Amino acid sequence: MIAPEIYNVNEKGYYGQFGGAFIPEMLYPNVEELRVSYLSIMAEPSFKEEFEALLKDYVGRPTPLFLAKRLSEKYNTTIYLKREDLCHTGAHKVNNTIGQILMAKRLGKHKIVAETGAGQHGVATATVCALMGLECIVYMGEIDIQRQAPNVARMKMLGAKVVPATSGSKTLKDATNEAMRHWINNPVDTHYIIGSVVGPHPYPDMVARFQSVISEEIKWQLKEKTGKTNPDYVIACVGGGSNAAGAFYHFLHDEETKLIAAEAAGHGISSGLSAATTFLGKPGVLHGSRSILMQTEDGQVVEPHSISAGLDYPGIGPMHAHLFESKRATFFDVTDDEAIESAMELSLLEGIIPALESSHALAVLPKLGAKPDEVVVINLSGRGDKDLETYQKYIK
Amino acid sequence: MNRITALFLEKKTQNLNIYFTAGFPKINDTKLVLKSLQEGGADLVEIGMPYSDPVADGETIQQANQVALDNGMTVKLLFEQLAGIREEGITVPILLMGYVNPVLQFGVEAFCQKCQEVGVDGLILPDMPASVYEEEYKAIFDKYGILNIFLITPQTSESRIRHIDEISHGFIYMVSSASTTGAKSGISDVQEEYFERVNAMNLTNPRLIGFGISDNETFKKASSHSAGAIIGSAFIKMLSTSTDLDGDTKAFVKMVKGQ
């Protein structure tokens, strides 16, 4: 008998062959401190109580599970939207930053550094730093600073210092490099709040646990509405993959629920302008873990492209690499144009303007082939206010 | 015997290790810089394999990496450039420094085999964890006689320093301060205390001190607490403005050594 597949992290920090902690010695003490203590800190009753109270009263959880009737009609199936877009700050990112700021305080850190792509994680980090009175520095690619101006203004208004990352492709990958360098240079008093399920162990697991509230709520909400806890499909977009990790988490071992990941294909996977990692990448090491990444034959990281800053990343979290390799999750490639079309469709059919990132998850619907008696849950990870400048160009 | 091991048996102090990026400033400068460093009197040479995402490096070395990549530098090409150097009179111990991903893509065994073939003595891969080296790659490194050099920092605990000393051969790379390369200059009293604290541990392996070393003063100071020092960013800065690579490289080594 073959042992059942394990999709959670193992005691060495791996998901199958992916994960680990590939970090320079300079970061070892910080990452080791976190590794040794994160599970026990998260299990402390006082931590749980504070985390849950903030999720409820500050973030506004539980977020609704909304039956999208007109969308369901169009695709001839039953579609629920998990409304993470209604979280305080406009996306799921804040679930993680609340958890990590409480973690940082318990580790005695009083400065925070973070990276951001679309700016959602930067805003969510700046927000919790303001709430807790901690100093906040956010690294953001120079190109992303231009295309996500409203979020830059938000971070500044919340008291964060926004530092442009000017190396490489000047996007999320480079912002992550700069944040790691900042941490190397400031190891004693600073905690690095990584925004996705990437980075060295224990970050992917810790972030997935903080985001797992999404699937925890989906289960009981769906039970209330339909009488069963498990849908036929859960769909989420994957850049690094934090919203997908949260939406999948409590379904990982419920194999009757199909897990669907939407990757940003940019202009198309064969165009040379894409961020669809599982289609174009192979195993390698980036930002502290072994995963799948887009790279040249020589092992240089390839600069990705997506219309969505939050998905414009050449790797995926190690958990997703394992879900891909083990075929537990099915990956779809979604182009810029398909994502825009789905954003317009949801706006017109349901009165909800989704974030460009979440639009990639919606764009799986025409390709999914869900049957009329099946239930589909789409994680609507963020709202589209920050993307209006992009959307304006497409409004007919 | 491995050239690094032989060097430290022979010469216990004032060893100067100079880092430069392969394929920088021009793609075919690798061998020229290497030769000039040996002739100038460098005791070890560390050749950087350029990488797109060098997280442990500061701006100077990042830029050199980018220039080298734009020049078309690759791992494969580096081995081609280094082929035959030992027959051509290069005797200085050579280390390759870089990040783990290009080595993984080349194939760890193929990489070590190439190192042995062209006469590379050791590797510095800052993002390869000691545990992964021990479990997955040590046997391969040993098979081809390649030394893996580990780093310690002011934040490394005593027990971890002892463990690193146990698994190290050649020398230990002692990072002088918590920083990326080229971020800070000079050596403070606090750093000297750290050097002495490690000295007092009576480790098996000699230490070379790197980060913040740039001239004769800092070289002498670092050498007084260790077997020598490593210079990277200051040399790269010099190379990037040099119009006479051979002459300037030799002059740089002599300046640092105070000759």
> 3-state DSSP call for residue A329?
strand
Q: Is the separation of the CB atoms in B124 and B44 below 8 Å?
A: no
Is B124's Cβ below 8 Å from some Cβ in A? no
Q: Name the pLDDT band for A250 (thresholds 50, 70, 90).
A: very high
- pLDDT score for A2: 54
Q: Which chain A positions have a beta carbon within 8 Å of B105's beta carbon?
A: 284, 295, 297-299
Is B62's Cβ below 8 Å from some Cβ in A? yes
| Residue A10 forms part of a structural domain | no
Residues forming a β-bridge with B19: B46
B46 is catalytic: yes
CATH number, position B155: 3.20.20.70
Q: What is the pLDDT of residues B228-238, one digit of tens each?
A: 999 999 999 99
A288: alpha, beta or left? (left if phi > 0; alpha if psi -120 to 50)? left
Is A26's Cβ below 8 Å from some Cβ in B? yes
> What integer is the mean pLDDT of A189-206?
97
Q: Which chain A positions have a beta carbon within 8 Å of B148's beta carbon?
A: none
Full domain range(s) for residue A308:
60-91+211-392
Q: CA of A19, closest CA in chain B: separation in Å?
A: 12
Same domain, A336 and A199: no
Same domain, A232 and A182: no
Cross-chain residue pair A184–B69, CB shorter than 8 Å: no
Sheet with A14-15: strands ordered across: A14-15, A18-19, A289-293, A282-286
Is B152's Cβ below 8 Å from some Cβ in A? yes
Q: What is the pLDDT of residues B197-215, one digit of tens each?
A: 999 999 999 999 999 999 9
Phi, psi of B202 (to 5 degrees): 50, 55
Full domain range(s) for residue B226:
14-257
- Distance between CA atoms of residues B117 and B83, nearest Å: 8
| Residue B91 forms part of a structural domain | yes
| Residue A8 forms part of a structural domain | no
- Tell me the percentage of chain A whose pLDDT exceeds 70: 99
Same domain, A297 and A199: no
- pLDDT score for B184: 77
Does residue A389 surpass a pLDDT of 80?
Answer: yes
- pLDDT score for B58: 92
- pLDDT score for B160: 97
pLDDT in tens, chain B (259 residues): 999 999 999 999 999 999 999 999 999 999 999 999 999 999 999 999 999 999 999 999 999 999 999 999 999 999 999 999 999 999 999 999 999 999 999 999 999 999 999 999 999 999 999 999 999 999 999 999 999 999 999 999 999 999 999 999 999 999 999 888 887 778 899 999 999 999 999 999 999 999 999 999 999 999 999 999 999 999 999 999 999 999 999 999 999 999 8
Of A382, A374, A329, A356, whose CA–CA distance to A77 is shortest?
A: A374
Q: Which chain A positions have a beta carbon within 8 Å of B66's beta carbon?
A: 167-168
End-to-end CA distance of chain B: 30
- pLDDT score for A6: 87
Same domain, A193 and A318: no
- Distance between CA atoms of residues B62 and A180, nearest Å: 14
- pLDDT score for B194: 96
Does residue A176 surpass a pLDDT of 80?
Answer: yes
Cross-chain residue pair A29–B180, CB shorter than 8 Å: no
Across the interface, of B62, B104, B150, the residue whose CB is closest to A167 is B62
- Distance between CA atoms of residues A327 and A359, nearest Å: 23
Is B241's Cβ below 8 Å from some Cβ in A? no
- Whether the full predicted model's pTM is greater than 0.90, yes or no, is yes
Same domain, A132 and A244: no
The count of structural domains within chain B is: 1
- Inter-axis angle of helices B233-241 and B59-71, nearest 10: 50
| Residue B58 forms part of a structural domain | yes
Does residue A251 surpass a pLDDT of 60?
Answer: yes
Is B167's Cβ below 8 Å from some Cβ in A? no
Q: Is the separation of the CB atoms in A361 and A378 below 8 Å?
A: yes
In eight-state DSSP terms, residue B227 is: S
**Mean pLDDT estimate for chain A:** 96
Cross-chain residue pair A22–B178, CB shorter than 8 Å: no
**Mean pLDDT estimate for chain B:** 96
Same domain, A104 and A168: yes
- Distance between CA atoms of residues A277 and A313, nearest Å: 8
A283: closest chain B residue by CA: B105
Q: Is the separation of the CB atoms in A358 and A308 below 8 Å?
A: no
B53 is catalytic: no
Say if strands A14-15 and A18-19 run parallel, antiparallel, or are unpaired: antiparallel
Q: CA of B254, closest CA in chain A: separation in Å?
A: 31
Cross-chain residue pair A299–B105, CB shorter than 8 Å: yes
- pLDDT score for B39: 98
Cross-chain residue pair B51–A285, CB shorter than 8 Å: no
Q: What is the pLDDT of residues A73-99, one digit of tens each?
A: 999 999 999 999 999 999 999 999 999
- pLDDT score for B181: 87
Q: Which CA distances in Å does A130 have to A50, A123, A160, B159, B221?
A: 17, 10, 8, 38, 44
Q: Examine the fold and report which residue of A206, A227, A251 is the final residue of a domain before the chain moves on.
A: A206
- Distance between CA atoms of residues A369 and A68, nearest Å: 17
B124: closest chain A residue by CA: A24
- Distance between CA atoms of residues A267 and A271, nearest Å: 6
- Distance between CA atoms of residues A378 and A262, nearest Å: 11
Same domain, A278 and A245: yes
Does residue A4 surpass a pLDDT of 70?
Answer: no
Q: What is the pLDDT of residues A17-45, one digit of tens each?
A: 999 999 999 999 999 999 999 999 999 99
Cross-chain residue pair A29–B75, CB shorter than 8 Å: no
CATH number, position A37: 3.40.50.1100
Q: Examine the fold and report which residue of A189, A206, A223 is the final residue of a domain before the chain moves on.
A: A206
Same domain, A228 and A260: yes
A168: closest chain B residue by CA: B52
Same domain, A192 and A283: no
Q: Examine the fold and report which residue of A179, A206, A233 is the final residue of a domain before the chain moves on.
A: A206
| Residue A9 forms part of a structural domain | no
- Residue of A25, A183, A185, A290 to mutate for B, most B C-beta atoms under 10 A: A25
Number of neighbouring beta carbons within 10 Å of residue A122: 32
Is A64's Cβ below 8 Å from some Cβ in B? no
Contacts 24+ apart (CB under 8 A), B244-251: B245/B25, B245/B29, B245/B32, B245/B33, B245/B36, B246/B32, B246/B35, B246/B36, B249/B33, B249/B36, B249/B37, B249/B40, B250/B36, B250/B39, B250/B40, B250/B41, B251/B40
Q: What is the pLDDT of residues A129-169, one digit of tens each?
A: 999 999 999 999 998 998 888 899 999 999 999 999 998 88
Across the interface, of A21, A177, A284, the residue whose CB is closest to B105 is A284
Q: Which chain A positions have a beta carbon within 8 Å of B62's beta carbon?
A: 167
Does residue A326 surpass a pLDDT of 70?
Answer: yes
Same domain, A254 and A368: yes
Same domain, A163 and A285: no
- Distance between CA atoms of residues A358 and A346, nearest Å: 11
